[in-house]
């Protein structure tokens, strides 16, 4: 199974900056890349990135992803973006349940599960984020928290669960420069793998990414762990040399 390196631009970018970043990726990317690659961009830039991918053959190997999706198919939900809309822009992936959405927008486990269901219904692969806060880790509740978060998605999506991607992102390691050690990350990934194995006989199809400040210097050691199938990359995905280094480290 090829690893997946997905960049999460978060609320960053601009028309010129996006074009420059993608141009640098096009020049530096080995085609085909050694792993699956995606960029999850802010909704206003989906059209731009879609067009740039079409214009540059090298960029066609980089899949397009969004950062959020509504759990509703359509209707009076001002400001929301449906999965069907994302599909029209060629999105293959969408991030759901990122810790920043859970923290700043009050997203619950149930809502995250419903968003994953909406994405799957439109043929988009949800990257389902799970992870514990520093307080939860220090109190010994890491396994309980991540299993509860994933259980909600499993319960809502049933046999479709083999179609998702899971991203373990310890909240205390996101944007802080702190990173779980390879052993700490592997331990949680192993727990999640076991939970998926109990839920579906297709568990081997599910990629589990690490999403806590993976960067150019630590990517190789994290990706060498047996249950880490790739990375959900934040800040480093905005720097072409760093992102390319991480992609190169994801060779199977």
Percentage of the chain modeled with pLDDT above 70: 100
CA-to-CA distance for 168 and 70, rounded, in angstroms? 22
Per domain, the residue ranges of the chain are: 91-252
CA-to-CA distance for 30 and 82, rounded, in angstroms? 33
Least confident of 24-33, 111-120, 139-148: 24-33
Confidence check: pLDDT of 176 > 80: no
What SS3 class is residue 8?
strand
Percentage of the chain modeled with pLDDT above 90: 89
CA 147, chain centre distance (Å): 18
CATH architecture observed for domain 91-252 = Alpha-Beta Barrel (3.20)
Mean pLDDT over residues 243-251, rounded?
Answer: 94
pLDDT of 73-95, one tens digit each? Answer: 999 999 999 999 999 999 999 99
Across the chain, what does the average pLDDT equal? 95
Mean pLDDT over residues 100-113, rounded?
Answer: 97
Which token pair is 123?
């043929």
pLDDT of residue 159: 87
Residue in this structure with the two tokens 């390196």, named with its chain if needed: 5
DSSP bridge pairs for 5 = 37, 231
Residue 212: pLDDT band (50, 70, 90) is confident
Confidence check: pLDDT of 20 > 80: yes
Bridge-based pairing state of the strands 4-8 and 36-41: parallel
CA-to-CA distance for 208 and 131, rounded, in angstroms? 12
Confidence check: pLDDT of 251 > 90: no
pLDDT of 119-169, one tens digit each? Answer: 999 999 999 999 999 899 989 999 999 999 999 999 999 989 999 999 999
What does the buried/exposed string (b/e) look like for 42-59 if buried means 16 or more CB atoms within 10 Å of the residue's CB? Answer: bbebbebbbebbeebebb
Residue 118: pLDDT band (50, 70, 90) is very high
pLDDT of residue 178: 75
Phi-psi region at 130: left, alpha or beta (left = phi > 0; alpha = psi -120 to 50): beta
Confidence check: pLDDT of 175 > 80: no
CA-to-CA distance for 230 and 214, rounded, in angstroms? 10
Residue 252: pLDDT band (50, 70, 90) is low
Which token pair is 101?
């959405």
Mean pLDDT over residues 212-238, rounded?
Answer: 95
If you compute the radius of gyration of the chain from its CA atoms, what whole number of angstroms results? 17
Phi, psi of 79, rounded to the nearest 5 degrees: 90, -10
Catalytic residues: 98, 169
pLDDT of residue 213: 85
Max distance between CA atoms of the chain, in angstroms, equals 51
Going from the C-alpha of 53 to that of each of 59, 75, 86, 131, the distances in angstroms are 5, 30, 16, 32
Contact 33/244 with Cβ under 8 angstroms? no
């Amino acid at each position: 199974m090829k690893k997946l390196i997905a960049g999460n631009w978060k609320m960053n970018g601009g028309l010129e900056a996006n074009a420059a970043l993608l141009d640098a990726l096009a020049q530096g990317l080995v085609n085909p890349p050694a792993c699956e690659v995606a960029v999850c961009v802010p909704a206003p830039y989906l059209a731009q990135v879609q067009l740039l991918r079409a214009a540059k053959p090298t960029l066609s190997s980089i899949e397009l992803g969004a950062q959020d999706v509504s759990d509703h198919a359509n209707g009076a939900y001002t400001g929301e973006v449906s999965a069907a809309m994302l599909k029209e822009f060629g999105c293959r992936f969408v991030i759901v349940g990122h810790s920043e959405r859970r923290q700043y927008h009050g997203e619950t486990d149930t809502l995250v599960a419903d968003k994953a269901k909406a994405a799957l219904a439109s043929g988009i692969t949800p990257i389902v984020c799970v992870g514990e806060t520093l307080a939860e880790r220090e109190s010994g509740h890491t396994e309980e928290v991540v299993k509860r978060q994933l259980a909600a998605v499993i319960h809502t999506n049933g046999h479709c669960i083999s179609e998702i991607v899971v991203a373990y992102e310890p909240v205390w390691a996101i944007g802080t420069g702190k990173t779980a050690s390879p052993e700490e990350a592997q331990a949680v990934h192993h727990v999640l793998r076991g939970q998926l194995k109990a839920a579906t006989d297709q568990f081997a199809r599910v990629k589990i990414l690490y999403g806590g400040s993976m960067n150019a210097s630590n990517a190789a050691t994290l990706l060498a762990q047996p249950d880490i199938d790739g990375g959900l990359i934040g800040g480093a995905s905005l720097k072409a040399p760093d992102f390319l280094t991480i992609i190169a480290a994801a060779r199977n």
